[in-house]
Structure 1
Amino acid sequence: MRRQYQIIGEQIGQQIDRDGYRPGERLPTEREYAERFDVSRTVVREAFIMLELAGRVEVRKGSGTYVRDAGDSVESASTVALNMSAPTEDIGPFELLKARQVVESAVASAAAELVTPGDIRALSALLAEERWALETSLGGQELSNAPDQADRAFHLLIARASQNTLLEDAVNRLWEQRDRSPMWRRLHGRIMDFSYRRSWLDDHDCILACLKKRDSTGAHDAMWAHIEHVMHTLFTHSDTDDPAFDGYLFTRGIKRSSS
């Protein structure tokens, strides 16, 4: 099944050719494309990443998206989209985060009902490891992937605490999809300031507090809010338009839990 960002990416690539954009020429903003195609900005963001991987465009932080010389293009947008439609297709980073939000919130709720004292001790130790890994990174800049490994381990241990191997496997598969995603690496690679991770640690504290109280509703909402926080943070830190852009307009797709 072709994904929405693939279709939009192809259409943007066709417009570049049809409208005669020259190398180095700036393309319309994500907001303009979102309005033109009646999609969220996250879909346009993913389409731009696809075109960037194809060598069609260059994304410049805080400046915009520019057309690259056709000779620099490794593959056409349509070829990249077809390749991504294979069984090992790449998933858009925001689509992946939305899936994680739905699945991991439900898993956290289930874990709150069955979590053991041993699980709580292990989660507490992992949270301490996360904080140590971040604080020992120079100036908030990650010198290794230790903070990310501890973050992943924290989420997977919550899944294990659900005492359901299918749920644990579902969460693990989502993280594996992230790890092998070129689009995720390209998006995350644009971020230079990792100090935002401190607020993510506070989110983990809230999740753990709910698990300790066996508060299934609270655990669900805390996980939902955390992953939404991740979506907002990644979008803000990777924004390719004017930094003064009004953030509340960025998407119709990311909403806070109403439960």
Structure 2
Amino acid sequence: IASWVHLSMILCAFGSVANIFYSFRVMNHGVVPSAILAVGLGLGLALSAIMASTIPTSQTGRFAFAVCATLAMAAMSGGIQTAGYLSHGIGLNWSLFYGFGVPIATEVLLAIDLSVKHLADRARVLDEADGLLELRINESIADALADLDLSTARRHVEREAVSLIRAKTSVAIARMMPDVVQPVDAEAVQIEPRAVVEMNAAAVQNAEIEPKLNAETDWVDQGNTARSNAKAERMAALIDFYADNPNASQADAADHIGRSKATVNSYLRELEDAGRVFVNGHVEVLR
């Protein structure tokens, strides 16, 4: 559409050239000076408008300068053309309308419209790029969560369990000390009460911590098992897919198993290392 707009500006410029030439001739200018001035002013206005249309409106300073220069030339062109229309006896209002209408409406306003369109097109491209980037990020996050190794979570639970055991042990020993330590004769003091305290503390601690630790680690084992099973199912589906479609692309395989191309590539490397497939431009399933 930009080419058509520029063509419209050039055609209007030729009309302005003819009007300006006639106006100068009416004012008894020579043919050659009239032609030179008409071509210079008419084409200069068109070129200035085209240059203004290529500057984005977001570049406020540059765009404003280009528009001001175009308006100045449009005012000169419009004034000369208005004089020509007045020489034909046309009223002042219509002369002003005809004289300034072509250079301002079809040159300056078209330049502004085209510049705004360029800015809108650029914004649309950026929005599409942002949407595509967000989609790729979401796919990467989904793949990362699907392939997450839950052993890290298990180690975290174990560290928290050790800290909990230490805290519970201290609380249990502090709670039992008043019942165990009693005033006794010096001859009756023995080592057994301390051993009893430690044994009781350990028994209480194990009774409180073991069910919680088992409950916290069971979900990790279940998660690892579920993840392994899901991955095995996807790899089996990938093998079946390539058994029927050895020349299929990784993008087609990714769509088939609902994962990304990077995940499919990782699965193929694992299967090739395990001797299940052979990859060489195509995927050959080894039974």
TM-score normalised by the chain length of structure 1: 0.24
Bigger radius of gyration, 1 or 2? 2
The alignment's TM-score, normalised by the length of structure 2, stands at 0.22
- 1 or 2, which has the higher helix percentage? 2
Q: Which has the higher contact order (CA 8 A, sep 6+)?
A: 1
